[in-house]
Chain A
Amino acid sequence: MPSFDDRNMIPRGLERCSPRGFALRIAPWLLLFAFGAYSIYLCLRYGLNQTNMDNRFAFGLWIFLDLTVIALGAGAFFTGFLLYLMKWKALKSVINSAVIIGFVCYSGAMVALAVDVGQPARAWFTFWHPNVHSMLTEVTFCITCYLTVLAVEYIPILLKHRKLKQIPSFLVFEFELHRIIPVLAAVGTLLSFFHQGSLGGLYGVLRGRPFAYREGFAIWPSTFFLFILSAIAAGPSFILLTTKLAEKLSNKPLVRGGVYEMLGKTSGVLLTVYVALKSVDTLIWLNRTSPAAGFTPWEFYTFKPFGTWILFTEIVLLGMIPALLLLSARLRAKPVVLTCAAILACCGVALNRFVLTIQTLALPTLPFDEFLSYFPSWQEFGVFAAVLAYGVLVYAFSFRYLPLFPDEKQLTAPVEVEELEYVSRN
């Protein structure tokens, strides 16, 4: 039986597992993806009655997933910003990986959003009859533009593929693209600021939902700014975690040690600022915003299971603690502490998005209303699984066939590579 051999597709000088090993590893993800694709089909074919959402709980698991995934994907634009605009050269070793993570997160979120709306074929109406007062319009415009930017940023990485590199015109194209990458990074940063913010604004502007409503600055509620901050705080942590996971799974070092600490420190500093501002924001809401709307804020926390523990967990356990761990150079130097703190930071952002979306909808506003609950249907989990599996697959294929980590070659075989380069130079 002829066996499949993809050795000449794998970047020169890099070690990858056998095609069979690769196939075995991705098989479960393919299955999960197939299951997810079936769920997506059901939702598109039969409508949103396939979900457990209803008129009272009109948003559910998907919106939480979108908000979280987009926050974690912020590592892409922020790493680009630090590398190309702030000239933090060391981050070059993770930028390709960051771009792919960003692309996967954003395109995945877009798919989930497309399934989440009742009439996906009408999505373009937003561009035709945009309501400039709606945060969702801002989100739609910015995410669409930024996904395009990410796709363009992905192209040079794709063109580094061994086979594509052999085509001269592609080489020229890649060279040209490289020249505009800093511009793209700047545009991407601007777009990301706005859509991360407007995702926060999405709930912050809801005057009718006193649990989520926040005062703010000009047209933007405070959640607009808090979302940007929390996303850029968690983004680097997520890049750190995914890179570490790739190292673990491929069983080889991919980036130099200092990079992790740099990412960790960035997360730590930003998380500290975020936690401080989030605390101030919470105090303002407790003492002014909520009472002004006629609601005693602490009453919101008397509906089980969402007690004050959730506030404590969000701000202290998953905010202040990882911030302090990442700020201390001594603690950050310990890989276990670094990884744990990064996990806590990412969970903190996820919990924040959960509170804003799910908890807000569960709490009653009408006096004769009651606490509402909802549990996603298997089709909703299926769509979630599809997005997850899609992300893993895109990343796995990119890792196998593209030179994602520029340092990998030197880290895995320093001597030979240097020799080879010497030979080729002379």
Chain B
Amino acid sequence: MAVTKKNRRYGMIVDVDLCTGCGACMVACAAENNVAPAPEKATDRTGITPMRVYPVHNGAPADKRQTAFLPLLCMHCSEPPCESVCPQQAVELDEATGIVTQMPQRCLGCRYCMTACPYHARYFNWWDPQWPVGMEATLNPTVAPRMRGVVEKCNLCASRLHAAEDQATADGQPPPATYVSACVEACPTGAMVLGDLDDPTTEAQKLAHAEGTFQLLAKLGTGPKVHYHSSRPWVRSLAERSAKEQANA
């Protein structure tokens, strides 16, 4: 049977109401993608956290205060502002998967893409990656470590996707409508769902169109493929708010 290869549009839906802010996704992401332990001098602004959980609150006084957590990763924008700015085509929107890929081996470290990304989803290797003796044994052989001086970001665990695609091909099946990224696998509450947003059989597609689903900074025209869901109006209104309104809330 001929395997039909249609373009997929992988995306993610994060249920903010389920996220407890435990940070397991951040750790799993770093381990999966061979992110070296941060050097001593690193700060939260110079470390590498392709997945980063932001705490947000409703701005109410202590007794009425509510907190939520927003795991932020690359939104794999449909119109990625980071792609068109790269001077040497090290960033690419893969039409077959909808994943915005980053080629660290071609990156010259100009960081223009970092200023272009409104989600701050890109990270620069300020230091040479170094693993304490013995820890190199934990490296993931399917992901190439990155060197100092280049930019990196979430690639939706492309190596896991490739493995899933290979498996599908071996089984004579079409490319998978869904697969499991490291963060999705690690989340203890199952707050994250990954899948082809164009495939009506996936849960991701259904959730993307469910009530209470929203995108961040959608007005900028970036077309983020990571969606958030919450039944709490104040969380949803975050997407519409500006930082100033949020600060004054």
Contact = CB atoms under 8 A, between A and B. Distances in A.
Contacts, number: 175
Contacts of A53: 111
Given A140-B87, A294-B219, A294-B220, A366 B108 contact: no
A126 B245 contact: no
Interface in B186-224: 216-217, 219-222
B139 to A, nearest CB: 21
Contacts of A360: 115
A377 to B, nearest CB: 12
Given A208-B222, A369-B243, A48 B126 contact: yes
A58 B82 CA distance: 13
Nearest to B82: A208
Contacts of A126: 87-88, 108
B238 A134 contact: no
A368 B108 contact: no
A141 to B, nearest CB: 9
Nearest to A357: B115
Contacts of A135: 85
B218 to A, nearest CB: 8
B46 A293 contact: no
Interface stretch (A295-303, A401-409, A412-420): A295-303
A12 interface: no
A56 interface: yes
A49 B130 CA distance: 14
B41 interface: yes
Interface string A275-308: 0000000000000000001111001001100000
Contact of B81 (A47, A206, A371): A206
Interface stretch (A28-36, A114-122, A321-329): A114-122
A209 B114 CA distance: 11
B160 to A, nearest CB: 25
A47 B84 contact: no
Interface stretch (B7-15, B17-25, B117-125, B174-182): B117-125
A130 B118 contact: no
Contacts of B127: 47, 49
B242 A299 contact: yes
Contacts of A49: 39, 41, 46, 126-127
B89 interface: yes
Interface string A51-71: 001111111000000000000
B220 A303 contact: no
In the complex, which range does the number of interface residues on chain A fall in? 35 or more
B118 A47 contact: no
Interface in B84-102: 84-90
Contacts of B147: 119
Interface residues of B, number: 60
B25 to A, nearest CB: 17
Given A54-B43, A118-B148, A364 B84 contact: no
A136 B148 CA distance: 21
Given A126-B87, A366-B217, A368-B238, A119 B108 contact: yes
B37 interface: no
B106 interface: yes
Contacts of B112: 134, 136, 202
Contact of A55 (B123, B148, B149, B242): B123
A33 to B, nearest CB: 25
B188 to A, nearest CB: 23
Contacts of A117: 108-111, 149
Contact of B242 (A57, A119, A295): A295
Interface string A117-152: 111101101101111011111001000000000000
A234 interface: no
Nearest to B114: A58
Contacts of B247: 370
Q: Which of A120, A126, A140, A365 has the most CB of B within 10 A?
A: A365
11 contacts: A54-B46, A55-B45, A56-B45, A57-B45, A116-B110, A118-B150, A126-B87, A136-B110, A303-B244, A360-B115, A368-B70
Interface of A: 47-49, 53-59, 116-120, 122-123, 125-126, 128-131, 133-137, 140, 202-203, 205-210, 293-296, 299, 302-303, 360-361, 364-371
